[in-house]
Structure 1
């Protein structure tokens, strides 16, 4: 079997595999992807899926649409001592990096928790950080609720009396239109098409790992949130308020609903996919989750692509 076929088999067997690097997710968001593998004996110890693109005669390896994190995945042996995990991770990722195709431009957002800064710098990559907020869900839901800002707790209680929240997959187009209207109002370009959103959503529906939560008041849609999950973690990927709605509690209520649903599904955490936008950052921060930094590795050896970046 080639690497891609081996990886598909690996994804089917590896329960800890994050959603955003599963083979079926990659099929949905970037169909012509590939993968490099590291094997220890007869088992796969690490994998790094990627997609090489060519734009303006420049070779690129970069983040894919609707995919907040990807990059290397390390499968630790079950009997590996905790004290040896860092060395195992370092060796595995080094071996994966050596196999990646050489490109002129690279920009990859890695999963939270991966902290091998020195490794990437030693391989000629720049390392920056971005942030998200992650709500741990090991505690009782009452304790999680207590972490919310008091205004949010009040809004959630009021929303319970005035809003109805249901899973309505048919309203995915409405979510896209609400999001586009919101970004247009900020003069920000929409970074995914309706077709791309539908493809990713359909793949998640097929694998029973998503819900499209819709908040209604008197039958009128107030806000929509796309919630998805893998075996361990849950994620808020896209959400938007109806531009015609004046209800300021709907998004807070939807996020809290997604958190409670994640808890019911025994997920370990809820990831807000935190934004660097100050307004969004404050909104997420007030839910009381942990601020988590994640690495972004990059390089740019193309003068043409450097000029393009300056002209944005």
Structure 2
């Protein structure tokens, strides 16, 4: 059995592998490259895994983050976490098995708070932030923590739109694309990539659409929520630039939080991060807690590193 096949079995039994690291999710998001994994064992039992996505550029093979995968990084079974004398040799075993890459880049999970063995092997690290709501099942407590400005926007939006779930994936993609078009940014993934990603999540019953629609049937905003056994993620969103003043996007955030609590019964809601001041401000106004995660990288080829700099 290959390590990849062993990892597929491991994903079925490990208690809390994040959705981004599930084998079926990586299968769906690996367009333009492929994914693989290295495993650490204790007495023959898999206790940790480090999945990675890699691409080929000319003679260079490099590991990076695929579309729709916010975080990867090393996953340890719960009983091995937070105990340095256990974590250090496990991480060292995973690192030693990584293939020779021109470069390696990954966002680690927020639950991974120890990157020291990577530092010892000359990796580098930058801290990024996501924003999380905890104890979401206590919805009244979450609602009480919302900023007054958000409350006003919610009331304004409720007077103009209603929230539905039954529009299509194509309609969501178009709304999502409008947000990139408005900022003059290229769409980072094709319709076919999004369709494949959405079909995998739908089959796993791990996603829900939210659309804010007015009395004329116009879609103001759309949101895309995904989840695993522990956490729901505010994964993607989009707005019609001509209708943004309704505040419908704020309403969809709240509806996604409410869905996480009342329908999914999960206790953690993750905004999937942002380092942008305007976006961070909204997350905090919802009462979300700033949560650090590591971006870890290493460049082994000077030529590849130079090409990356020239590419910008």
Normalising by structure 1, we get a TM-score of: 0.92
Matches within 5 A, 1:72-151: 72-77=74-79, 85-138=83-136, 140-151=138-149
Q: Which residue of 2 aligns with 1:268?
A: 267
Tell me the CA shift for residue 151 of structure 1. Answer: 1.4
How far apart, CA to CA, are the structure 2 residues paired with 1:23 and 1:142?
36
Q: Which residue of 2 aligns with 1:57?
A: 59
Pick from 240, 243, 246: which aligns with 1:242?
240
Check if 1:214 corresponds to 2:211. yes
Check if 1:188 corresponds to 2:185. yes
270-279 or 252-261, larger mean C-alpha shift:
270-279
Q: Which residue of 2 aligns with 1:309?
A: 309
Distance change >3 Å, CA 266–CA 25, structure 1 → 2? same
How far apart, CA to CA, are the structure 2 residues paired with 1:21 and 1:214?
27
For residues 223-275 of structure 1, the C-alpha deviation after alignment (integer angstroms, 9 at most, x for no partner) is 00010100010001110111231443101110100001111212121100121
How far apart, CA to CA, are the structure 2 residues paired with 1:138 and 1:255?
13
Displaced runs of 4+ in structure 1, greater than 6 A?
none
How far apart, CA to CA, are the structure 2 residues paired with 1:248 and 1:279?
18
Are the counterparts in 1 of residues 177 and 238 from structure 2 also a CA contact under 8 Å?
Answer: no
Are the counterparts in 2 of residues 145 and 153 from structure 1 also a CA contact under 8 Å?
Answer: no
Tell me the CA shift for residue 116 of structure 1. Answer: 1.6
Segments of structure 2 that go 5 or more residues without pairing to the other structure are: none
225-234 or 154-163, larger mean C-alpha shift:
154-163
Distance change >3 Å, CA 246–CA 304, structure 1 → 2? closer
Are the counterparts in 1 of residues 137 and 261 from structure 2 also a CA contact under 8 Å?
Answer: no
Aligned length: 307
Segments of structure 1 that go 5 or more residues without pairing to the other structure are: none
RMSD of aligned residue pairs (Cα, Å): 1.9
Are the counterparts in 2 of residues 110 and 296 from structure 1 also a CA contact under 8 Å?
Answer: yes
Q: Which residue of 2 aligns with 1:43?
A: 45
